[in-house]
């Protein structure tokens, strides 16, 4: 039977097989507010499409990939054209690099317009992420529940990601755990997620 538990909302979230550390108040309220509105207005949001059972369907969210011009990223089977770094993304990248001690060369942004926007179970385990990737994930706007599910034991760990929080996934997290943002029927305001990644040459 899958088990479910709501861990305390800070520190290490995973009991085994990798690391996911939540820093709930990584950004102060006013910085989080202004970064949220800056990114919402300035990001070249794209609607992408995926093939599901032979049919083309729109992804239930908008997204954008920011990186150096020679660093495209194929995510969910869709090649993403890189948009250049600009503020407030560059400053946010530096803050995440300082905090984690790792460098990031790309950022995937997702805009969840309502509770009907979501991201299904997956791992960020494409070869281009390299083995045991460090992924720094910033949440802005409405709070959403983030679920982990262990690939073997099916244990489920759920946590609410607050406005201005940082979640750092590292170690064997992507090898052993899936994660998702589930749909909800609750009335929910928009949320932006930024995941900083370090893509490698393959
Ligand atoms: O929105 C989130 O918090 C998760 C996003 C995510 O898993 C991804 O971009 O790979
Ligand atoms: Mn992911």
Within 10 angstroms of residue 107's Cβ, the number of other Cβ atoms is 24
- Mean confidence (pLDDT) of the chain: 93
Tell me the CA–centroid distance for residue 170 and ligand 2, in Å.
Answer: 12
- pLDDT band for 1, please (50, 70, 90 cuts): very low
What residue's CA is closest to ligand 1, atom 10? 124
Closest to 24 measured CA to CA, from 8, 6, 10 = 10
**Model confidence over 94-144: pLDDT tens digits?**
999 999 999 999 999 999 999 999 999 999 999 999 999 999 999 999 999
How many angstroms separate the alpha carbon of residue 171 from the centre of ligand 1?
17
Q: What is the pLDDT of residues 151-196, one digit of tens each?
A: 999 999 999 999 999 999 999 999 999 999 999 999 999 999 999 9
The CB of 195 under 6 Å from ligand 1? The reply is yes
Residue 2: is its pLDDT beyond 70?
no
**The domain 4-197 is classified under which CATH number: 3.90.1150.200, 2.30.30.830, 3.40.50.740, 2.60.120.590?**
2.60.120.590
Per-residue pLDDT averaged across 38-55, rounded? 92
Q: Residue 43 gets which letter from DSSP?
A: S
Return the ligand number nearest the Cα of 123: 2
Query: Given this model, what pLDDT does residue 120 score?
Result: 95
Pocket residue to mutate for ligand 1, from 138, 193, 196, 198, most atoms within 8 A of Cβ: 193
Whether 137 lines ligand 1, by a CB cut-off of 6 Å, is yes
- Which atom of ligand 1 has the smallest separation from the CA of 179? 7
DSSP secondary structure letters along 123-160: ----GGG-SS--EEEEEEES-EEEEEEETTT--EEEEE
The mean pLDDT value for 17-38 works out to 97
Q: Establish whether residue 146 lines the binding site of ligand 1, counting it when its CB lies within 6 angstroms of any ligand atom.
A: yes
Closest CA to 63 of 39, 84, 88, 94: 39
pLDDT at 72 over 90: no
Residue 169 CB less than 6 A away from ligand 1: no
Categorize the per-residue pLDDT at 51 as very low, low, confident or very high, splitting at 50, 70 and 90: confident
Residue 9, pLDDT above cutoff 70: no
pLDDT, position 70? 82
**4 has a pLDDT exceeding 60:** no
Which one is predicted more confidently, 4 or 82?
Answer: 82
Residues with CB under 5 A from ligand 2 (ion): 124
């Amino acid at each position: 039977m899958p088990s479910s538990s709501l861990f305390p909302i800070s520190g290490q979230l995973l009991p085994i097989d990798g690391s996911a550390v939540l820093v709930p108040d990584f950004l102060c309220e006013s910085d989080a507010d202004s970064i949220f509105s800056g990114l919402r207005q300035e990001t070249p949001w794209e609607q992408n499409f995926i093939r599901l059972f032979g049919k083309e369907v729109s992804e239930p969210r908008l997204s954008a990939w920011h990186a150096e011009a020679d660093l495209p990223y194929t995510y969910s089977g869709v090649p993403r054209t890189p948009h250049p770094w600009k503020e407030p993304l560059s400053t946010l990248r530096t803050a995440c690099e300082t905090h984690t001690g790792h460098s990031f060369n790309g950022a995937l942004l997702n805009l969840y317009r309502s509770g009907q926007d979501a991201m299904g179970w997956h791992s960020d385990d494409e070869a281009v992420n390299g083995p045991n990737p460090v992924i720094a994930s910033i949440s802005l706007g409405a709070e959403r529940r983030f679920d982990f599910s262990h690939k073997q034991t099916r244990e489920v760990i759920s946590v609410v990601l607050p406005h201005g929080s940082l979640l750092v996934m590292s170690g064997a997290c992507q090898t052993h755990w899936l994660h998702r943002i589930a749909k909800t029927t609750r009335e929910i305001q928009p949320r932006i997620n930024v995941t900083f990644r370090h893509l490698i040459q393959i």
